[in-house]
Amino acid sequence: MNKFSETLYDAWEQQLRIDELLYDSETEHQRLIIFRNATFGRVMALDGIVQTTERDEFIYHEMLAHVPILAHGNARQVLIIGGGDGGMLREVCRHRNVAEITQVEIDPRVVDMCRQYLPNHSAGAFDDGRLELVFADGLDYVRTTESRFDVIISDSTDPIGPGESLFSADFYAGCRRCLNPGGALVTQNGVVFIQMDEVVATARHLKRIFDDWHFYSAAVPTYVGGIMAFGWASDNADLRRQPLEVLTQRFAAAAINTRYYTPEVHQAAFALPRYMLAAINAPEE
């Protein structure tokens, strides 16, 4: 029986049995594979790195979508960078008050193949009338767009290949440029215990570019190695400190059924372990 071995790390790996291979090809930008695994359901990987699985995607997509939108309280324009599988878009679309959603994805083949082989991820969201789907590099987009956003979600791959530019100072500065006052940027920032260098690099960029920055976290089983870090940046320091009663009221008004997100989990997610706080606040050499 074939096995998929994740190639993110040299010294160790995770393997998933390929119970049924659904798609495997080089796109213009990356190697795309989609297969079925008895434990995680359908799995999509890019350049040998697990991106998303049917079984645990709800954790990641709920936390990266609902935390910034409910913290903001009146997000009307939302930008998704990446997110080709459509799970993030599905969760953003559940907020009826969001008026316009722009998604900037570099690889049309990821969208096409995920619509076909991972239909539960987008669940029709790509047909939502509020969506403008742009096939472009996210860095180029945030550098040049005339559009402005209340929430920007960087749902990127790891900083390898096409995703590398989405972890650069230029990208974060571009996001700052197209955020409305009081807006928030959130980012997929890797498994902190293993990818601490990426988290620290992002912290140093955000510190320079934004008035307020931090991280929050959630554990996503197939992002192996412990809690995943989500970058947070805004010009409004109060946004990530919303009182529980405010989050509770907004969540109730949104009338969204979730499987992971709760207002209590939202608040607790911003409490970081000491080793992570020490690393992100350490003075630069």
The least distance separating ligand SAM from the CB of residue 79, rounded to whole angstroms, comes to 11
Please give the structure tokens belonging to residue 228: 């995943």
How many residues in the shown chain lie near ligand SAM by CB under 6 A?
A: 25
The least distance separating ligand SAM from the CB of residue 98, rounded to whole angstroms, comes to 20
Stretch 179-238 residues interacting with ligand SAM (CB under 6 A): 188
Stretch 35-54 residues interacting with ligand SAM (CB under 6 A): 46, 51-52
Nearest to 64 by CA among 239, 228, 236: 228
Nearest to 167 by CA among 211, 126, 201, 210: 201
Cα(192)–Cα(186) distance, integer angstroms = 15
Residue 104 binding ligand SAM, by CB under 6 A: yes
CB closer to ligand SAM out of 70 and 114: 114
CB closer to ligand SAM out of 179 and 247: 179
Q: Per the residue annotation, which of 47, 155, 170, 235 is the catalytic one?
A: 155
The least distance separating ligand SAM from the CB of residue 110, rounded to whole angstroms, comes to 4
CB closer to ligand SAM out of 49 and 265: 49
* Single residue of 54, 62, 105, 198 touching ligand SAM by CB under 6 A: 105
Helix, strand, or coil (residue 77): strand
CB closer to ligand SAM out of 93 and 166: 166
Stretch 111-170 residues interacting with ligand SAM (CB under 6 A): 137-139, 155-157, 162-163, 165-166
Q: Is 150 noted as a catalytic residue in this protein? A: no
Binding region for ligand SAM (CB under 6 A) out of 33-41, 78-86, 175-183, 247-255: 78-86
Nearest to 258 by CA among 55, 113, 117, 63: 63
Under DSSP, the state recorded for 3 is E
Helix, strand, or coil (residue 189): strand
Binding region for ligand SAM (CB under 6 A) out of 80-88, 208-216, 255-263, 268-276: 80-88
Under DSSP, the state recorded for 188 is E
Helix, strand, or coil (residue 192): coil
Q: Which residue has the tokens 């995943």?
A: 228
Asked whether the beta carbons of 87 and 57 are under 8 A apart, the reply is yes
Binding region for ligand SAM (CB under 6 A) out of 83-91, 194-202, 236-244, 249-257: 83-91
Under DSSP, the state recorded for 241 is G
Say how far residue 281 (Cα) sits from the centre of its chain.
23
Residue 83 binding ligand SAM, by CB under 6 A: yes
- Termini Cα distance of the chain: 49
The least distance separating ligand SAM from the CB of residue 284, rounded to whole angstroms, comes to 26
Please give the structure tokens belonging to residue 39: 């434990």
The least distance separating ligand SAM from the CB of residue 179, rounded to whole angstroms, comes to 17
Residues 6+ apart with CB under 8 A from 156: 81, 82, 138, 163, 166, 167, 187, 188
Q: Which residues bind ligand SAM (CB under 6 A)?
A: 46, 51-52, 60, 81-85, 104-107, 110, 137-139, 155-157, 162-163, 165-166, 188
Q: Which residues are catalytic?
A: 155
